[in-house]
């Protein structure tokens, strides 16, 4: 029982970490999609600069679009992976939770009468 409770706690922390990562990737994906949308509005000969470390470097619309599209694809894949991972962890969490409930039920905890005032 203690082992299952420890697993449950560890799993809860892992789910929270994956959830935070998923939120970060979602934000980066939205930023990338927004940048691609703005890029589409520009003329083909527009001056475009990209951030490289601490400096801005001039680039072409085509190169910028290709780089952003690649980033978007990477973020999409990462997001799907995190979503699947989070889903699997949630299922495992529910399984362990159910096992604990069943173990407590077998120990007679579920046979207790309802609290006064509850029916």
Nearest alpha carbon to residue 63 among 77, 47, 78: 47
Give the pLDDT confidence of 60-87 residue by residue, as tens digits: 999 999 999 999 999 999 999 999 999 9
- Output the pLDDT for position 117: 53
Range picked from 13-17, 105-109, 113-117 for highest mean pLDDT: 13-17
Average pLDDT, the chain: 90
- Output the pLDDT for position 12: 96
Rounded Cα distance, 21 and 79, in Å: 9
Which tokens in the block code for residue 15?
């789910």
Q: Is 113 helix (H, G, I), strand (E, B) or coil?
A: coil
Strand partners of residue 55: 52
Query: Can you tell me which residue has the tokens 């973020």?
Result: 75
Class of 2-107 per CATH? mainly alpha
Enter the pTM of the model.
0.78
The 3-state secondary structure of 35-104, one letter per residue: HHHHHHHCCCCCCEEEEECCEEEEECHHHHHHHHHHHHHHHHHHHHHHHHHHHHHHHHHHHHHHHHHHHH
Stated length of the chain: 119
Provide mean pLDDT across the span 28-57: 96
CB-side neighbour CA atoms (13 Å) of 78? 17
Residue 119 has pLDDT above 50, yes or no: no
């Amino acid at each position: 029982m203690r082992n299952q409770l420890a697993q449950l706690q560890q799993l809860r922390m892992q789910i929270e970490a994956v959830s935070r990562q998923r939120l970060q990737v979602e934000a980066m994906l939205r930023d990338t999609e927004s940048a691609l949308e703005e890029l589409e509005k520009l003329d083909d000969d527009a001056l475009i600069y990209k951030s490289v470390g601490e400096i801005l470097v001039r680039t072409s619309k085509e190169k910028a679009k290709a780089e952003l599209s690649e980033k978007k694809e990477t973020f999409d894949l990462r997001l799907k992976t995190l979503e699947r991972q989070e889903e699997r962890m949630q299922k495992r969490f529910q399984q362990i939770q159910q096992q604990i409930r069943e173990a407590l039920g077998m120990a007679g905890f579920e046979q207790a009468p309802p609290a006064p005032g509850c029916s």
